Chain A
Amino acid sequence: MTDSIGVRVKTAPGTAGQARRGPGSAISLREVGIRFGAFQAVADTSLDVAPGEFLCLLGPSGCGKSTVLSAIAGFEQASEGDVRVDGERVTAPRRDTGVVFQSTEALFDWMTIRDNVAYGPRMRGVAKARRAEIVQEYLNLVGLGHTADKYPSQLSGGMRQRAQIARVLANEPRLVLMDEPFGALDAQTREVMQRELDRIWRARRCTVVFVTHDIGEAILLADRVAVMSAGPSAGIKSVYDVDLPRPRDETSREFALLHQRLRDDISQEVRAALRAQGADVEEEL
């Protein structure tokens, strides 16, 4: 269904966006539940991501977005239902699925940026000369060509996240999972990084699942935005198509309208979560 502002809204999750041809993986989650002991973090979640699609998982903190991402990455196992990437059940981390973590702790501090980026190719035995080419290509892509010989501790937060992105892309993944990668950056750096990521993704066209609680970031980057309900027993509440031309204009009317709708949608969840924790919150503003 398409409403007056040209933003199609689907409230029934589970249907893929328009199929795209690209070098990306397809993801399918079927009635997935994830439990940690007695705690049901995620319940009955179904979702399809088309090859080459950029999907944002949006929701309040602690709602289980990262848990869903961990299940797709193979770090956590679904207790119920199944998680498939390219039709194969995910039981362990896959070489063709790259993960960009929020924490820059994910970089190897004892290696130079060059060695960090070369890590994936080195582990699978790519010859040294070819490795050097790959590293140079991806460092240039993220704008870090001149810092190859520095150590992570010598770089700023934004540059470390660029290094993480380069390291993941150098491994030529078909699927990239990003867990609030810009969450710890200052507002200005974050904005630059979002624009850069948009540019890089348009150049590569692999499938991306991007977790964030920043509505503007989700609209700026995503083909579709999946809003998660507040945990425990979190699931996907609604899915929004973002049919806006790229690079996106944050000042456009369509952007603002979609932002408003997503905000209303999420604030209900935030209030529900706060009430569940015993806070005194008004029903509706």
Chain B
Amino acid sequence: MTAQTTAAPRGKAQDARRPAARRIRDSRLRTPLLYLVSVALGLGVWQLVAATSGPDMVSSPKTTFDAAVELISDGTLGTSVWASLKRIAIGWALGVVVGAPLGILMGRFGLVRRILDPYVEFFRFIPPVAFVTLAIVWFGIGETSKIVLIFYTSVFLVTINTIAGVMAINDAKLRAAASLGANRWQVLYSVVMPASVPHVVTGARLAMGNSFLTIVSAEMVAADEGLGALIWQSRNYARIDWIFVGIITLGLLGFLCDRLVRLATGRGLRRFGVRV
């Protein structure tokens, strides 16, 4: 009797352990599985919309795929991706390299902030597309004008996020550093800079998104290579399917670039509190 009552719960506990193990395995599989389901669902909806609206309005998954194969095999897609990525990488990197120190200085020194704040708050509301013509007039039809536009779209986001990061640093940290004997400069590089790293990363990620939004405008005029140029030129040939290829490639590239930034910062900057 006693033996039975003690044995029963033990058996139950063993049963309970097995589903628990399965649950862990499930959760590891669930995310990619859900992604797959989501993508399949999206393709289905796309197919449906394409079938009902006709190839002049929406290019179907199949035609888009064929167009992609065509653009890949004649090398157009490869050179477009490479040209756009190069511009985004350079413009975005310059934006981070200039925006982060600017944000640190503006966040830390009231004088700098008051002098530069009106400009930051003015220009960040003007979309890069408004500057396309001016950029070409000022910087020519070469790479410079495009890189400048990407830089323009990145730099304010990084600056504003960095300022927010500097302002959010706990007072106790700054006071502790000062009372431990750090001078102004030492506080800046040993506390303010590392403590604002998570906000700089957030700014950089947002800026990456903006760079992808801007590349199409930047390549609107006078570019013969690049995803934006591909999309604009497809209009002249009335190739809806090429436009679809360009758009999907942009989305995929953006997704991959964000993953890359997250992976790099999540690994390398983890100790600064970067959580992505």
Contact = CB atoms under 8 A, between A and B. Distances in A.
Contacts of A92: 178
A168 B271 CA distance: 23
A167 B180 contact: yes
The 9 closest A-B pairs by CB, nearest first: A95-B181, A106-B172, A120-B180, A93-B178, A105-B170, A93-B179, A106-B176, A101-B172, A123-B182
Contact of B177 (A74, A109, A119): A119
Contacts of A94: 179
Q: Which DSSP category, helix, strand, loop or mixed, fits chain B's interface? A: helix
Interface of A: 73-75, 92-95, 97-99, 101, 103, 105-110, 119-120, 123-124, 151, 167-168, 171
Contacts of A95: 179-181
Interface of B: 170, 172-173, 175-183, 186, 190-191, 194-195, 197, 271-273
Contact of A171 (B175, B181, B191): B181
Nearest to A122: B190
Contact of A106 (B170, B183, B190, B197): B170
B180 A123 contact: yes
Nearest to A119: B180
Given A103-B170, A123-B180, 10 more contacts: A75-B179, A94-B179, A105-B172, A109-B195, A110-B195, A110-B197, A110-B272, A120-B180, A168-B180, A171-B181
B175 A99 contact: yes
A168 B179 CA distance: 9
Contacts of B178: 75, 92-93
A110 B169 CA distance: 13
Contacts of B173: 105-106, 108
A17 to B, nearest CB: 25
Contacts of A110: 194-195, 197, 271-273
B271 A171 contact: no
A134 to B, nearest CB: 13
A73 B172 contact: no
B191 A108 contact: yes
A23 B178 CA distance: 22
